[in-house]
Structure 1
């Protein structure tokens, strides 16, 4: 957990943050803020859990600070410290859900008791959110959706390890196991078109339920509406039903499904049944074949039950599964997932060598897809692939890159390395641009709001992201830069002008001159006026 202590009196902040054994309560990091604005900047940059704040501070009271905190995060726990036993302050603190209201100086027992109470409240709230019972209820409520998404992903060709399949089948209470299955593809015919924008999803749900009822005597049923608008229903035969005319039972049950839907839902169905296949390895293959059967073989026929012939008998060739399986190479490049892109290429070439080592056309198919993804990425980012690859681009122009699997592999990985290197340079340049933009804005607007949130709004970044980006690029935090620039500017003006201290205070963003004097003295060990007198220049230009 992380905590912040806020007080305009530095000795309170320094004493409470450094001399108390907060680690014994599980507090890993204690931040210090000497004003409410500084505290808000820290809250934007760090995951703060607990705030201990003075109630009376310049510019913003502790009560107002809590209100600002509540706008950002309602879970942060706040404790108020005050030198005044004022009922109105107490009432306002409680109204804003403060954990406690302690009088200065608090005893260690009182202070630790208040923080311990805040920690207990946080733990209780988060345990409730993350409780197994709550998660179990959420899982049960969303089970149909999760099951459908899992089957949809498998139909698209997304691959899971056997361990992941086992875990998800168990978590989703699906009685399927690795072994023979069949796929039934159902097309809802034109009678259902009238419901397209008014309740068609309920009819789809009803059809899958009817299928579960009819096929459930001899098979487990798992269905979803696919990307092409078909109802894809996976069937796995129960052990006690094996060897008793499964093929006949499937066709008979499919015709019964048609009949019941026509009788009760007033619409017709066309159905294609696949041959048995090992689940989950061949699911995507059989699904694509069934879709092709609908499109190419069935044509305009309707209200039929048809069995798709075995893939080996109907297809003399096939596509590269890995090339077209999501996530696509283009999407991985756009997302900057370079390791995943390398892994994608490795899988593509592994499949080429294992299945299509004799086929130049498949090598060409993979090469065109890879080159197209690279070209798209370059154009999307404002430069040409030819300029990036230089000599290697000629291999693409002449077709030599596609001459063999080995040459294509070499060209693809070399080109990917250059894309990655260019992206790294672009990111570094972008960071530098943001840093310069922030510094120019602060230098020109030091007298205005230059809090982390204001700077983030100026460059259209999230405050946390901006804070990390600036720190990574400069080694200095944003608030540290703003504070340093204010102090340097104050010193310069004190040494080179006759402006009043309150004028300098306003010009560098401190509306309260007394607070500026306090901050300046804490930084340099002397007041602004004493600093000016110590650096008096006889020939100063006004």
Structure 2
């Protein structure tokens, strides 16, 4: 767990942070903040669990700090320290769900007990969230979505081990098992087009329910809508169901589904059913065959019920599996998963070597898709592929990049490496741009609000993201940079102008001059006025 101690009295913060045995309570990190504003910036960028804050602080008091925290995070536990036992303070602390309200200075026992109570509250809350019963409830609430996504992944060729299949089928309460299965693909015909912009999901849900009702007497039914618009049903015979005429039963039930949809939903269906196959091993191939039947045999004809014929000879030509198995190359490039993209290119070329060593068309098929993915990435980053590749564009333009598998392998991996390098440089350039924008904005607006949230809004990034980028690029946190800039500017103004100390405080963003004096003395060991007089004395000596 992480905790933050907030007080404008630096010695008090440092003492509490360093001399108490927080580790014995499970506190791993203790942050220190010397103002409420600084505390908010730390909380924005760190997973703080517990806040110990004084009430009386300049600019923003401890109760106001808690109220600000509650606007964005209701899980953080807050403990208030105060030199006053006023009822109104305690009342507001209770209203903001403070764990405890302690009078300063608290005893070690009081402080440790309050933090221990906060930890117990957090542990109980997270134990409830992560409890088995809560997990089961959440799982039940999302079962339809999880079941559908599992079937979609399987149709698209995502590989799961037998153990993973058994575990997921059990977790999702699916009465399916490894073994003989069939697929039924359903296409909604044009009558349902009237619902496309309003009510289509309800119609599809109704058809899935009707399929489960009609076929459920004999079969387990698992349905989902896939990306091309088909309703796909995985079917397995129930234990004890007659299996001698399972093909006949499947076609009969498909016709019945078609008829009932026509009768009650006033629309027609076309249906393709597969032969019985081994699930899950043959599922992706059977799905491809079924969709091919719609494309090649059914076409634009309507109200078909057709079974994929086992006598249909397998085509000598087929697409590359590795090229189209998800995740696609274009998605890997968009996500910046360079190692996975490289592995996919290697797998594509390996399949070409093994399955299609003499097929120029398959090499060209792979080459066109790979080059299209590279081009898409370039355009998404506001570039042209030619600009990014330089001379490496020539083999693509001449077609030589696809002329052999060896040349395709070398060209595609070389280009991938160049795209990765170019993207890395772009990331560095973009980070540098954000740093420059932050520093320019802060330099001009130091007298105004330059909190992390304001800066993040200025560059349109999330505060946590911005904080990490700035730290990576500069090696220091944004709050450290702003504090250093304020002190540097204060020193410069004290040495080069006759402005009052309170005027300088306002110009560098401190609304409370007394607080500015306190921060300055903590930094330099002298007050601003002593610093100014010391420099004047130094100038006279020179």
Query: What TM-score do you get using the length of structure 1 for normalisation?
Result: 0.94
Which deviations, in whole Å up to 9, do the C-alpha atoms of 1:393-423 show, x marking residues without a partner? 2222222211221221111111101110111
Q: Report the CA distance between 1:229 and its aligned residue.
A: 2.6
Decide which moves more: 240-249 or 389-398: 240-249
Q: In the alignment, which residue of structure 2 is the partner of 1:156?
A: 156
Q: Aligned pair in 2 of structure 1 residues 318, 70: CA closer, same or farther (>3 Å)?
A: same
After superposition, the CA RMSD in angstroms is 2.2
Decide which moves more: 340-349 or 385-394: 385-394
Q: In the alignment, which residue of structure 2 is the partner of 1:232?
A: 232
Contact 1:501 1:529 in 2 (8 A): yes
1:117-516 equivalences under 5 Å are 117-197=117-197, 199-238=199-238, 240-241=240-241, 244-310=244-310, 313=313, 315-516=315-516
Which deviations, in whole Å up to 9, do the C-alpha atoms of 1:18-68 show, x marking residues without a partner? 110111111111111111111111111111111111111111111111111
Q: Report the CA distance between 1:214 and its aligned residue.
A: 3.6
**1:428 aligned counterpart, secondary structure:** helix
Q: Aligned pair in 2 of structure 1 residues 179, 404: CA closer, same or farther (>3 Å)?
A: farther
In 1, Cα distance between equivalents of 2:313 and 2:18: 78
Contact 1:501 1:528 in 2 (8 A): yes
Contact 2:225 2:232 in 1 (8 A): yes
In 1, Cα distance between equivalents of 2:475 and 2:389: 34
Q: Report the CA distance between 1:192 and its aligned residue.
A: 4.1
In 2, Cα distance between equivalents of 1:434 and 1:101: 41
Q: Aligned pair in 2 of structure 1 residues 99, 456: CA closer, same or farther (>3 Å)?
A: same
Q: Aligned pair in 2 of structure 1 residues 7, 300: CA closer, same or farther (>3 Å)?
A: closer
Decide which moves more: 312-321 or 428-437: 312-321
Which deviations, in whole Å up to 9, do the C-alpha atoms of 1:250-294 show, x marking residues without a partner? 222222333444454454433211122332233222223222322
Q: Aligned pair in 2 of structure 1 residues 461, 301: CA closer, same or farther (>3 Å)?
A: closer
1:37-116 equivalences under 5 Å are 37-116=37-116
Q: Aligned pair in 2 of structure 1 residues 311, 536: CA closer, same or farther (>3 Å)?
A: farther
Q: Aligned pair in 2 of structure 1 residues 360, 179: CA closer, same or farther (>3 Å)?
A: farther
Q: Aligned pair in 2 of structure 1 residues 312, 366: CA closer, same or farther (>3 Å)?
A: farther
Decide which moves more: 481-490 or 240-249: 240-249
**1:224 aligned counterpart, secondary structure:** strand
Contact 1:80 1:102 in 2 (8 A): yes
Q: Report the CA distance between 1:200 and its aligned residue.
A: 4.3
Does residue 10 in structure 1 map to residue 16 in structure 2? no
In 1, Cα distance between equivalents of 2:447 and 2:10: 23
Q: Report the CA distance between 1:461 and its aligned residue.
A: 1.3
Does residue 24 in structure 1 map to residue 32 in structure 2? no
Decide which moves more: 49-58 or 268-277: 268-277
- Tell me, which stretches of 5 or more residues in structure 1 are unaligned? none
Q: Aligned pair in 2 of structure 1 residues 528, 193: CA closer, same or farther (>3 Å)?
A: closer
Q: Aligned pair in 2 of structure 1 residues 443, 263: CA closer, same or farther (>3 Å)?
A: closer
Decide which moves more: 287-296 or 485-494: 287-296
- Tell me, which stretches of 5 or more residues in structure 2 are unaligned? none
**1:75 aligned counterpart, secondary structure:** coil
Equivalenced residue count is: 540
Q: Aligned pair in 2 of structure 1 residues 306, 532: CA closer, same or farther (>3 Å)?
A: same
Query: What TM-score do you get using the length of structure 2 for normalisation?
Result: 0.94
In 2, Cα distance between equivalents of 1:148 and 1:161: 19
**2:116 aligned counterpart, secondary structure:** helix
Contact 2:298 2:304 in 1 (8 A): no
Contact 1:289 1:311 in 2 (8 A): no
In 1, Cα distance between equivalents of 2:84 and 2:29: 29
**2:529 aligned counterpart, secondary structure:** helix
Q: In the alignment, which residue of structure 2 is the partner of 1:36?
A: 36
Q: Aligned pair in 2 of structure 1 residues 135, 326: CA closer, same or farther (>3 Å)?
A: same
In 1, Cα distance between equivalents of 2:145 and 2:352: 35
In 1, Cα distance between equivalents of 2:32 and 2:312: 71
Decide which moves more: 298-307 or 394-403: 298-307
**2:536 aligned counterpart, secondary structure:** coil
**2:98 aligned counterpart, secondary structure:** coil
Contact 2:237 2:243 in 1 (8 A): no
Q: In the alignment, which residue of structure 1 is the partner of 2:533?
A: 533
